[in-house]
């Protein structure tokens, strides 16, 4: 394997010393970049872009050409697994992802198969291999998946939802049926992430976008436990080389201790959680990733620098911090403002490290 020229991201996840705090952004390859919009136009559609390994590689690398980021993240979509299960993913302009065949009954759920990552999802694995080759050790590559609960919300609702009425009705009326669905999805996610690691991903992240919509007890049963099973499966299959796992639940700050107990190496935090308080609660058990409010990037570079300083000061001195936004970068952000944030992180964080 090619040796990493910049390994501070991996080192931070493993709570090892670094010279400056590493930084990357969720959705860093996205619509805020004009070059991304051009490539997507060339591809014809979002799914055509996702399923073309060469173009997925191109947009993955675009932000690294602009900014001195410390990691690349695979360009893909969290709904590739449900699509591979035959639910018929499509994108409605202005409405986001939709499924032609949402899951509404026991028969449909029982018929679900676990996709083979090197067959039905081969285009993702080919993208990982292509990106890893083109990176040539420049920075680490992050692979990812949606969490079982998050994927299940789309699979049952048929798309995005504000109230999750259909899946929550299933949760309360037929919890054992939801358990069955989540077990199939969890097996699929574990295989999918393991295949990404074998293809070249050096870190993997589980995006639990909708875990925060659950009650505490429901979160533990229907969101956290399936993610814990995935993490255990991944760790069992790892060879000698440690591949860090990042767990991110949006609006999940109240469950940090339980998230730490899953065995994850790092926890992603959104901007509603105080970083200093989170560090006190989890101690040195896990690294922490986050957590600048993405809307800060609408402000001036001077204000951005001040806000970056506050986040760094909140974590304080020591190891185990990866700087990120508290969620994905907004499409309307000026790319120069993203650059100002990255520059401020590297500049201001030096004082918090002994190297």
* Mean pLDDT of the region 271-298: 97
Question: Would you say residue 321 lies in a domain?
Answer: no
* Mean pLDDT of the region 134-142: 97
pLDDT, residue 99, reads: 94
pLDDT tens column, 35-63: 999 999 999 999 999 999 999 999 999 99
pLDDT band at 355, cuts 50/70/90? low
Question: Would you say residue 272 lies in a domain?
Answer: yes
Q: Among this protein's residues, is 48 annotated catalytic?
A: no
Question: Would you say residue 170 lies in a domain?
Answer: yes
Candidates 77, 194, 208, 218; catalytic one: 77
- Domain span at residue 253 reads 22-277
Judge whether residue 313 has pLDDT over 90: yes
Candidates 37, 40, 66, 305; catalytic one: 40
196 is in an annotated binding site: no
* Mean pLDDT of the region 142-152: 98
pLDDT band at 240, cuts 50/70/90? confident
Q: Among this protein's residues, is 40 annotated catalytic?
A: yes
Average pLDDT, the chain: 96
- SS in 3 state form for the chain? CCCCCCCHHHHHHCCCCCCCCCECCCCCCCCCCHHHHHHHHHHCCHHHHHCCHHHHHHHHHHHHHHCCCCCEECCCCCCHHHHHHHHCEEEECCCEEEECCCCCCHHHHHCCCCCCCCCCCHHHHHHHHHHHHHHCCCCCEEEEEECHHHHHHHHHHCECCCCCHHHHHHHHHCHHHHHHHHHHHHHHHHHHHHHHHHHCCCEEEEEECCHHHCCHHHHHHHHHHHHHHHHHHHHHHCCCCCCCEEEEECCCHHHHHHHHCCCCCEEECCCCCCHHHHHHHHCCCCEEECCECHHHHHCCHHHHHHHHHHHHHHHCCCCCEEECECCCCCCCCCHHHHHHHHHHHHHHHHHHCCC
pLDDT, residue 238, reads: 84
pLDDT, residue 219, reads: 98
Candidates 154, 194, 221, 229; catalytic one: 154
| 255 vs 261: CA distance, rounded Å | 10
344 is in an annotated binding site: no
pLDDT band at 348, cuts 50/70/90? very high
Judge whether residue 344 has pLDDT over 70: yes
Question: Would you say residue 127 lies in a domain?
Answer: yes
* Mean pLDDT of the region 272-285: 96
> Taking Cα atoms as reference points, which of 319, 322, 353, 323 lies closest to residue 15?
319
350 is in an annotated binding site: no
Residue, of 162 and 67, whose pLDDT is higher: 67
For the chain, give the percent of residues with pLDDT over 90. Answer: 93
Judge whether residue 199 has pLDDT over 60: yes
Question: Would you say residue 288 lies in a domain?
Answer: no
27 is in an annotated binding site: yes
327 is in an annotated binding site: yes
Q: Residue 159, Cβ neighbours under 10 Å: how many? A: 18
pLDDT band at 2, cuts 50/70/90? low
Q: Among this protein's residues, is 27 annotated catalytic?
A: yes
Q: What is the CATH number of the domain that holds 141?
A: 3.20.20.210
Candidates 11, 15, 27, 132; catalytic one: 27
Question: Would you say residue 112 lies in a domain?
Answer: yes
Specify the number of domains making up the chain: 1
Question: Would you say residue 137 lies in a domain?
Answer: yes
Judge whether residue 1 has pLDDT over 60: no
Question: Would you say residue 305 lies in a domain?
Answer: no
60 is in an annotated binding site: no
Q: Among this protein's residues, is 154 annotated catalytic?
A: yes
pLDDT band at 280, cuts 50/70/90? very high
31 is in an annotated binding site: yes
* Mean pLDDT of the region 149-158: 97
pLDDT, residue 129, reads: 98
pLDDT band at 91, cuts 50/70/90? confident
């Amino acid at each position: 394997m090619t040796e990493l020229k910049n390994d501070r991201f991996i080192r931070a996840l493993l709570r090892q010393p670094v010279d400056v705090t590493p930084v990357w952004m969720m959705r860093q390859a996205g619509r805020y970049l004009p070059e991304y919009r051009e490539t997507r136009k060339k591809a014809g559609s979002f799914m055509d872009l996702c399923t073309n390994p060469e173009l997925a590689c191109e947009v993955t690398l675009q932000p690294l050409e602009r900014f001195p980021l410390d990691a690349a993240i695979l360009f893909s979509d969290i709904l590739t697994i449900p699509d591979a299960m035959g639910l018929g993913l499509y994108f409605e302009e202005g409405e986001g992802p939709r499924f032609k065949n949402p899951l509404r009954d026991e028969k449909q759920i029982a018929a679900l198969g676990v996709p083979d990552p090197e067959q039905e999802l081969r285009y993702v694995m080919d993208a990982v291999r292509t990106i890893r080759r083109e990176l040539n050790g420049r920075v680490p590559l992050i692979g990812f998946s949606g969490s079982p609960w998050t994927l299940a919300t789309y699979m049952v609702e048929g798309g995005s939802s504000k109230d999750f009425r259909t899946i929550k009705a299933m949760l309360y009326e037929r919890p054992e049926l939801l358990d069955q669905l989540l077990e199939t999805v969890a097996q699929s996610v574990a295989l999918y992430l393991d295949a990404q690691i074998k293809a070249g991903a050096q870190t993997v992240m589980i995006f639990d976008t909708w875990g925060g919509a659950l009650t505490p007890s429901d979160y533990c049963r229907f969101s956290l436990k399936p993610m814990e099973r995935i993490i255990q499966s991944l760790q069992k299959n790892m060879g000698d080389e440690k591949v860090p796992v990042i767990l991110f639940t949006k609006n999940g700050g109240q469950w940090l201790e339980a998230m730490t107990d899953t065995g994850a190496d790092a926890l992603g935090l959104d901007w509603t959680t105080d970083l200093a308080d989170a560090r006190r609660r989890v101690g040195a058990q896990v690294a922490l990733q986050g957590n600048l409010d993405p809307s800060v990037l609408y402000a001036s570079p001077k204000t951005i620098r001040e806000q970056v300083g506050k986040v760094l000061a909140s974590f304080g001195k020591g190891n185990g911090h990866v700087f990120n936004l508290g969620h994905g970068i907004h499409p309307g952000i000026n790319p120069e403002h993203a650059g100002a944030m990255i520059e401020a992180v590297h500049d201001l964080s030096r004082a918090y490290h002994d190297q």
